[in-house]
């Protein structure tokens, strides 16, 4: 969080405090006074011409926050220089304006925190609040701040009671406002049985650690360090205070008389020294120009100071000015990662739901395919039975026709045999007639001798010749009929043979269609098997994502807080390091 954002948060409270009617606008006279005070506390040279020009009274109506921002950015915030003013004075100005209107402690004097402690809690709230307006502090940061205060008092925060309290907030609110936070602290719900002085000391300790970037300081007489002088080389007891960029030391913990400071950068280092010259638990801080030797009261104090100084050197090496700004950014990134994981989990849940719906749809499609397959099998069986019946009927018809053709052929053959026998008789008859003709010729020759018998013989011969011609005509006619019948029989045999070939072709086509139906049924079976494989693969994917989802559902809790029973500011710092390390892991 940069300086401009920090200043804007406090100025926002001052602006809203001046907005008495809660209309989002403030009168120009009040903004003029506010701007003049901001010039003073931020140590910016006054520009009365720009002030009067911007807030001249010839314009109508008050000014909104959007209307005040251009002047605030151009004439105030753009001219602010970090380190040129006292940040605490600036915060006290904005707190004074907003507390008069919004902070309402117990009128009977039963408030848990004093007015000064409320101011420090307000500063801590601004530091830990989100960078969006209206300013709120998310539940994670509320728990973090309360835990640091409780840790400074060596007490444990009741997280369950805090969760119950936060769950009672309105549904659409994403965090606590500063006034809700101060009311919660003043209610004594989380600080029962603790004296106001202890609370004030804890708030002061957390304020110095978070707001003033004090990484380590001596909080008791036993926490003083001995420092060896550079010229006289004598040992002096000093009260040290460590910030990210400097290690300062004073005569006493009131910090009225500063004796010196050690500027820290990335080239500095801290080393543990062996005991000598009657001093124990020694260590030194090496800078580019000098080595500072110090002695702690015990080994634990030395370890705490060396770790704190190493942390400050690490921050300088990483180019970071504040440990808690870095920790806040990391906590914010962790929250964003949790939100992303939550969104990913919801997306995964939605995707699993879609997969389940897809699975159900696939199952329905599979059932439809099975039903279609059953219907196809039934139709195939019916078609096959119908074709079999047609084939059997056709076969019976063909057999009947073949039997009839065989009978016709047998009858034709019998008729042909009869005709041939008749022809044979006719040939024999012809031969007999020829023989008879020869005998008649012989008889004629014999009748030459007898003229009386000649006429009778000629008459008989003529009659026999007529009969013979008639018989010959009948024989020729029979031969023609026989030939015609033979030709007709051959034609009928060809027609029967053609019909048998046509029937065989129809039978072959029916067999081919039956084979195609069987191939189609095999293809449908293969499609069903493929759908079953896809179903099994989808089930496997669902189980896999269920495992992944179960892994993601385990919450990432904060690291255990280790309380420090020895007192001191480092009692609040050591659990913070443990929390950071556990979060990074």
What does the pLDDT look like over 295-334, one tens digit per residue? 988 888 899 899 999 998 998 888 877 777 778 888 888 8
CB 90, CB 42: distance < 8 Å: yes
What is the pLDDT, as a whole number, of residue 204? Answer: 86
Binned at pLDDT 50, 70 and 90, residue 269 comes out as very high
| Section 240-252 average pLDDT | 88
Per-residue pLDDT band for 585 (boundaries 50, 70, 90) equals very low
Element spanning 217, H or E: strand 216-217
Q: Report the pLDDT value the prediction gives residue 575, as an integer from 0 to 100.
A: 47
pLDDT of residue 220: 55
Average pLDDT over residues 94-122: 81
- Which residues lie below 8 Å from residue 552, measured CB to CB, with a gap of 6+? 341, 344, 345, 348
Tell me what pLDDT residue 271 has: 92
State the Cα–Cα distance between residues 217 and 86, nearest whole angstrom: 21
Beta bridge partners of 73: none
Least confident of 28-32, 58-62, 516-520: 58-62
Is pLDDT at 160 greater than 90 in this prediction?
A: no
pLDDT at 30: 85
86 or 172: which leads in pLDDT: 86
134 Cβ neighbours under 8 A, 6+ residues apart: 177
**Residue 441 burial (C-beta neighbours within 10 Å; 0-12, 13-18, 19+):** exposed
Q: Are 561 and 151 in contact (CB under 8 A)?
A: yes
* Greatest mean pLDDT range, 110-124, 388-402, 437-451: 388-402
Residue 181 near residue 125 (C-beta atoms within 8 A): yes
C-alpha span between 447 and 439 (Å, rounded) = 12
Name the percent of the chain lying above pLDDT 90.
4
CA dist list (Å): 186 to 104, 112, 125, 142, 181? 10, 5, 15, 14, 9
Q: How far is CA 170 from CA 62, 102, 405, 540, in A?
A: 32, 20, 102, 42
Residue 579 clears pLDDT 70, i.e. is over it: no
DSSP-derived secondary structure letter, 276: B
- Residue 286 sits at φ, ψ, to 5 deg, of -100, 125
Contact 319, 297 (CB under 8 A): no
DSSP string, 29-98: HHHHHHHHHHHHHTT----HHHHHHHT-TTS-S-EEHHHHHHHIIIIIGGG--TTSS-HHHHHHHHHHHH
8 A C-beta contact, residue 372 and residue 364? no
> 531 in helix, strand or coil?
helix
Beta strands in 290-391 (DSSP E): 291-295
Q: Look at 13-22, 284-293, 540-549 and tell me which has the smallest mean pLDDT.
A: 540-549
Query: Which of 43-52, 266-275, 524-533, 570-579 is least confident?
Result: 570-579
pLDDT given for residue 451 in this prediction: 77
pLDDT for 57 equals: 57
Q: Given a cut of 50, is residue 262 above it in pLDDT?
A: yes
Instruction: State pLDDT tens for residues 411-442.
Output: 888 889 899 888 898 888 898 888 888 888 88
Give span(s): CATH 2.30.29.30, the chain.
Answer: 225-320
| Start-to-end Cα distance in the chain | 24
pLDDT by residue (tens digit) across 327-377? 888 888 888 888 888 888 888 888 899 989 999 989 999 999 999 988 989
Question: What pLDDT digit, counting tens, does each position of 128-149 carry?
Answer: 888 888 888 888 888 888 888 8
pLDDT of 462 over the 70 cut: yes
Average of per-residue pLDDT across 239-258: 86
In the structure, how many helices (H) and strands (E) does the chain have? 14, 10
pLDDT for residue 285 is more than 90: yes
Per cent of the chain over pLDDT 70 is: 89
502 or 196, greater pLDDT: 502
Angle of helix 3-18 relative to helix 28-41, nearest 10 degrees, comes to 140
Q: Please state, rounded to an integer, the average pLDDT across all residues of the chain.
A: 82
- Radius of gyration, CA atoms only, the chain: 60
Of the candidates 333, 311, 310, the one whose C-alpha atom is nearest the C-alpha of residue 322 is 311
- Identify whether the C-beta of residue 388 lies closer than 8 Å to the C-beta of residue 380: no
Residue 567 predicted with pLDDT over 50 = no
Query: pLDDT tier at 9 (50, 70, 90 boundaries)?
Result: confident
Distances in whole angstroms, Cα of residue 543 to Cα of each of 23, 537, 540, 549: 56, 10, 5, 10
Cβ distance 307 to 256 under 8 Å? no
Answer whether 520's CB lies under 8 Å from 544's CB.
Answer: no
Q: Which CATH architecture has domain 225-320?
A: Roll (2.30)
Residue 187 DSSP label:
T
DSSP character at residue 319: T
In 3D, which of 470, 375, 393, 464 has the Cα closest to residue 426? Answer: 470
């Amino acid at each position: 969080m940069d300086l401009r954002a920090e200043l804007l948060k406090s100025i926002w409270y001052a602006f809203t405090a001046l907005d008495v009617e809660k209309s989002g606008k403030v009168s120009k006279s009040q903004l003029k006074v506010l701007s003049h005070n901001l010039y003073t506390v931020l140590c910016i040279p006054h520009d009365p011409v720009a002030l009067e020009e911007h807030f001249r009274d010839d314009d109508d109506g008050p000014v909104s926050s959007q209307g005040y921002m251009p002047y605030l950015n151009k004439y105030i915030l753009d001219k602010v220089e970090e380190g040129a003013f006292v940040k605490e004075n600036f915060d006290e100005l904005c707190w004074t304006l907003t507390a008069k209107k919004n902070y309402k402690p117990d009128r009977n004097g039963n408030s848990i925190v004093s007015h000064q402690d409320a101011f420090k809690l307000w500063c801590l709230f601004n530091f830990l609040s989100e960078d969006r307006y209206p300013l709120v502090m998310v539940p994670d940061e509320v728990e973090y701040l309360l835990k640091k205060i409780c840790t400074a008092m060596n007490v444990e925060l009741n997280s369950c009671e805090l969760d119950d309290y936060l769950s009672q907030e309105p549904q659409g609110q994403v965090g606590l406002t500063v006034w809700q936070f101060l009311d919660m602290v003043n209610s004594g719900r989380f600080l029962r049985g603790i004296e106001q002085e202890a609370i004030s000391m804890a708030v002061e300790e957390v304020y110095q650690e978070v707001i003033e970037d004090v990484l380590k300081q001596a909080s008791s007489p036993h926490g003083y360090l001995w420092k060896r002088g550079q010229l006289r080389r004598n040992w002096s007891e000093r009260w040290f205070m460590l910030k990210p960029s400097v290690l300062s030391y004073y005569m006493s913990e009131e910090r009225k008389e500063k004796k010196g400071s050690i500027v820290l950068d990335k080239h500095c280092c801290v080393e543990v020294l062996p005991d000598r010259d009657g001093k124990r638990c020694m260590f030194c801080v090496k800078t580019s120009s000098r080595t500072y030797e110090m002695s702690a009261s015990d080994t634990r104090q030395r370890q705490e100071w060396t770790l704190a100084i190493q942390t400050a050197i690490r921050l300088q090496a990483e180019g970071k000015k504040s440990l808690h700004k870095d920790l806040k950014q990391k906590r914010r990134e962790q929250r964003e990662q949790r939100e992303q994981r939550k969104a990913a989990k919801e997306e995964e849940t939605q995707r699993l739901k879609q997969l389940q719906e897809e699975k159900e749809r696939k199952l329905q499609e599979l059932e439809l395919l099975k039903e279609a397959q059953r219907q196809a099998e039934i139709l195939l069986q019916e078609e096959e039975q119908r074709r079999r019946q047609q084939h059997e009927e056709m076969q019976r018809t063909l057999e009947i026709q073949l039997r009839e053709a065989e009978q016709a052929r047998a009858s034709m053959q019998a008729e042909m045999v009869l005709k041939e026998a008749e022809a044979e008789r006719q040939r024999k008859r012809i031969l007999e007639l020829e023989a008879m003709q020869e005998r008649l010729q012989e008889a004629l020759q014999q009748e030459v001798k007898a003229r009386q018998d000649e006429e009778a013989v000629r008459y008989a011969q003529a009659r026999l010749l007529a009969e013979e011609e008639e018989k010959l005509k009948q024989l020729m006619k029979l031969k023609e009929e026989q030939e015609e019948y033979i030709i007709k029989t051959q034609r009928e045999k060809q027609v029967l043979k053609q019909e048998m070939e046509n029937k065989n072709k129809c039978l072959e086509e029916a067999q081919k269609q039956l084979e195609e139906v069987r191939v189609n049924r095999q293809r449908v079976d293969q499609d069903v098997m493929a759908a079953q494989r896809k179903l099994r693969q989808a089930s496997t994917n669902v189980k896999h994502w269920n495992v992944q989802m179960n892994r993601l559902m385990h919450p990432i809790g904060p690291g255990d807080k280790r309380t420090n029973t020895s007192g001191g500011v480092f009692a609040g710092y050591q659990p913070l390091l443990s929390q950071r390390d556990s979060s990074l892991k």
